[in-house]
Structure 1
Amino acid sequence: MRFMMIVKATKDSEASVMPSQELVEAMQRYNEELVKAGVLLAADGLHPSSNGIRISYPEPGGKPKITDGPFTEAKELIAGYTLIEVKSREEAIEWARRMPDPHGYGEGEIELRQVFEALDLTQNPETLAKETALREQMERLKKS
């Protein structure tokens, strides 16, 4: 089971305030624990929404609408994420609880969401085979 720990943005993260050295080191130690446990798939911080672009689809079949950042409501924005693969929802919750306060000021908020697997979306054998082949191709490209 894959889960994404979504780190919510704050006014500071949206203002490009960098984390303290202590927080960077705490997050490194946390990521090392995830690696040692063999559950870490990815972990990254995101630039503020002022550097972002939104593509929306306001009308069915219509042209996409492009909107440059910044976007309002920092609490609705994402500042970073950690993607893990674990055996259960409970294990994912335990890892999320161990993450240091992602902003270091008592303002951190993490949203934990399970990632859909191909079998969750379809039972069609042809579609599943194509998905498997695509993932295998991605892995080969990563290694080359």
Structure 2
Amino acid sequence: MRCMVMVRAQAASEAGVMPSEALLTAMGNFNEELVRAGVLLAAEGLQPSARGARVRFSGDRREVIDGPFTETRELIAGFWLIQVRSLDEAIEWMKRCPNPFEGGESEIEIRPVFEAEDFGAEFTPEARAQEDRLRAEIASRS
């Protein structure tokens, strides 16, 4: 099971405050544990929403909304993509994570990623073949 693990943003991360050397070291050590266990697929911090944009869809219309976005509690400051056996295992890993905001309140959200078999009959053999081809192409680039 793959899980997307998201670190909720805070006012400091939205203001562009960078983590301390101690936190960067602790996170690096935690990420190293994930890699050694064969769990980590990807991990990144995200720039503040002021540097981003959203695309809003309404039927065939597209509207671009430039950041910053006001609802900090709805924003993501960083993420991990992990491969685990269960949600319980993902929870156990994240309980070992350093506090992303050094002693303050932090929240990490864990969400399972849909796998091809989750989509049922609507995910046709042609769509599955396309998905497999795209994943192989992505893997060949790394």
Q: Choose which of 71, 93, 96 in structure 2 pairs with 1:95.
A: 93
Question: Structure 1, residues 24-58: CA drift from partner, whole Å, max 9, x if none?
Answer: 1110010000000001000000000010101011x
| Superposition pairs of residues 33-44 of structure 1, within 5 angstroms | 33-44=33-44
User: In structure 2, what is the equivalent of residue 70 of structure 1?
Assistant: 68
Q: Which amino acid aligns with 1:60?
A: G
Gaps of 5+ in 2: none
Q: Report the residue type matching 1:82 in the other structure.
A: W
Unaligned runs of 5+ in 1: none
* 1:61-106 residue CA offsets vs partner (Å, 9 max, x unmatched): 2x21001110001111000001100111111111111111111132
Q: How many angstroms apart in 2 are the aligned matches of 1:96 and 1:60?
A: 39
Alignment length (residue pairs): 140
1:7, distance to aligned residue in structure 2 (A)? 0.3
Q: Displacement of 1:3 after TM fit?
A: 0.3
- For normalisation by structure 1, the TM-score amounts to 0.93
Q: Which residue of 2 aligns with 1:105?
A: 103
Question: Any conservation in 2 of the 1:119–1:128 contact (CA below 8 Å)?
Answer: no
CA contact (8 A) 1:122 1:128 kept: no
Q: State the distance in 1 between where 2:110 and 2:81 align.
A: 10
Secondary structure of residue in 2 paired with 1:84: strand
Query: How far has the Cα of 1:141 moved from its partner?
Result: 2.1
| Matched residue, 1:52 | 52
Runs of 4+ in structure 1 displaced over 4 angstroms? none
Question: Counterpart of 2:59 in structure 1: which amino acid?
Answer: P
Quote the Cα distance in structure 2 between the aligned partners of 1:107 and 1:10. 9
How many angstroms apart in 1 are the aligned matches of 2:44 and 2:27?
Answer: 11
Identity %: 52
Equivalent residue for 2:32?
32
Q: 1:86 matched to which residue of 2?
A: 84
